[in-house]
Amino acid sequence: MKDEKRSWKVLIVNMPSILTETKHTGMPAYPNVGKDYQYTFESLKKLQFDLWVASHAGQFKMHDKRKPGDPYNPEVFVDRKGYDDLVNSLESTYHRRLKSEQ
C-alpha cells in the first residue's frame, strides 16, 4: 500500500484456529495435520511487514486501534508485538492440545 507519506508492507493474515475436533497427532483423512500446523506457525513468525490485519477484527484489536470517524492513520496497525503475541498464544494452544493427545 502506498499513501502520500510512504509505502507500507501490509500483511492480511488468516490466523490458524485450533478446532476442537482436530486431532493434531493425525486423522485418517489428514495424517499430517499436526505437521502442517507447526509449519504454519514457523512461517507466520518469519513474515516481515509494516502493518497487519487479520480476517477477524478481534484478532488484531481493530476496535481498540481505530474507532469510526477517526482520521486516516495507518500507523495504528503497526503492532509487531501484538502479532507475535497472538501467534505465540495460538502456537501454545496447539502444543497443549498436541501434548494432551499423546
Distance separating alpha carbons of residues 31 and 23, to the nearest angstrom: 9
Give 5's contacts (C-beta < 8 A, 6+ positions apart): none
Distance separating alpha carbons of residues 100 and 102, to the nearest angstrom: 6
pLDDT confidence bin for 2, thresholds 50/70/90? very high
Give the tens place of pLDDT for each residue, 57-96: 999 999 999 999 999 999 999 999 999 999 999 999 999 9
User: What is the pLDDT, as a whole number, of residue 26?
Assistant: 84
CA atoms within 13 A on the CB side of 51: 15
Closest CA to 93 of 20, 5, 3: 20
User: What is the pLDDT, as a whole number, of residue 79?
Assistant: 97
Percent pLDDT > 90 in the chain is 75
